[in-house]
Amino acid sequence: MIQGIHAINQNVIYAVGNKSTPRAGIVLKSENGGQNWEEIDLPNNYNDNGWIGVKATDENHIVIHGGQGHYAVTANGGKQWVTGGPLFPKDLNSLLMMDCSTYWAACDFDTIILTENSGISWEEQPSAGTSNSFLLGIDALDRNNALVVGSSAGYPRFGKILRTTDGGKNWEVVLSAEECPVSLSHVSIAEKSM
């Protein structure tokens, strides 16, 4: 099952997901607009991990992220991959590349993390609001202003929206569980104002 796809341009496309056998994760790349696909074999048996998403800033800088805090990064268009994780036993549900080395990630159990060195080290940022939720989507206007959305991990179902205006030092609830009785999984900032 393909869970994430990213078209870098009209020709180069990456897709990631999971398969049942023989290994859990699959990473695919097309260089002709999706007509043909090749499977990428990541180092360190990283295709044994389930993958949730893929992001890129250009043809060279790509990040694959997924289950149990695993990720893989390339800075040369996939010729070589550097694997990372597990960061913790939480899924990296959504990842946003601000540039080639700065990424924010929304994770299970109210976890927000940031790297400013392509994943060499990560900083956990304080979440806010009702706990026991999966943070499933993240988008940012710039390095200071971002939104995160999530869904309850159990019943009853609820969603929440968090916002930062200081680069993640503080996150505040903009829409609480009491105000949002549905799960939220994606967020996109449409205008240049927050």
Q: Token pair for residue 82?
A: 């550097």
Query: Domain for residue 153, yes or no?
Result: no
Strands (E), 68-132: 71-74, 82-84, 92-97, 103-107, 111-115, 123-125
pLDDT given for residue 36 in this prediction: 98
Domain containing residue 96: 2-124
Q: Using CA atoms, how far apart are residues 175 and 119, in angstroms rounded to an integer?
A: 30
CATH of the domain at 44: 2.130.10.10
Query: Domain for residue 108, yes or no?
Result: yes
Q: Token pair for residue 38?
A: 């090749």
Q: Is the dihedral of CA 105, 107, 112, 113 positive or negative?
A: negative
Query: Domain for residue 73, yes or no?
Result: yes
Peptide bond into 86 cis (omega under 30): yes
DSSP for 90-107, written as a single string: S-EEEEEESSSS-EEEEE
Q: Could you tell me which of 193, 178, 101, 185 has the C-alpha nearest to residue 141?
A: 193
Query: Domain for residue 70, yes or no?
Result: yes
Q: Using CA atoms, how far apart are residues 81 and 51, in angstroms rounded to an integer?
A: 15
Query: Domain for residue 169, yes or no?
Result: no
Query: Domain for residue 150, yes or no?
Result: no
Mean pLDDT of each 10-residue bin along the chain, 194 residues long? 95 93 85 97 88 96 94 95 89 96 95 94 89 92 95 87 96 90 91 60
Query: Domain for residue 179, yes or no?
Result: no
pLDDT given for residue 39 in this prediction: 94
Q: Token pair for residue 42?
A: 């990541």
Peptide bond into 22 cis (omega under 30): yes
Number of domains in the chain: 1
Query: Domain for residue 138, yes or no?
Result: no
Q: Token pair for residue 188?
A: 């996109």
Q: What is Dmax (Cα atoms) for the chain?
A: 48
pLDDT given for residue 157 in this prediction: 84
